Amino acid sequence: MLKFILAVSVLADGCCNIYIGTFANCDVAQAYYDHYLAQDYSGYSCLYEDYTVLPKGFEHRYISLPLSLRSSNADR
């Protein structure tokens, strides 16, 4: 089940985040950030969906990674 949301920081102070996708866990979200986004953004947050306020009608972008991009902890 995919329940973790990755948001990246648009500004260095972390005040403005944008939704990237929904992942199985934070290890996979971090691997995705490291591989695809780290050069363009100043940081990220991994948030548990059940504790995140999402707008009505929000549509998730479910993301998984190939095993070759995951760290050894990402499959937990």
Q: Flag whether 56 is in a domain.
A: yes
- Is the full-model pTM beyond 0.85? no
What pLDDT is attached to residue 47? 92
Q: How far is CA 62 from CA 14, 23, 24, 28, 70, in A?
A: 23, 6, 9, 12, 16
Q: Evaluate the CA torsion angle 23, 56, 59, 44 in order and state its sign.
A: negative
- Give the 3-state DSSP-derived string for 6-40, with helices as H, strands as E and coil as C: EEEECCCCCCCEEEEEEECCHHHHHHHHHHHHCCC
Q: Flag whether 76 is in a domain.
A: no
Query: pLDDT tens track of the chain, all 76 residues?
Result: 778 999 988 776 667 888 999 999 999 999 999 999 999 888 899 999 999 888 899 999 999 988 877 665 444 4
Query: Which residue type occupies 5?
Result: I
Q: How many domains, in total, are found in the chain?
A: 1
Residue 27's domain comprises 4-69
What pLDDT is attached to residue 29? 93
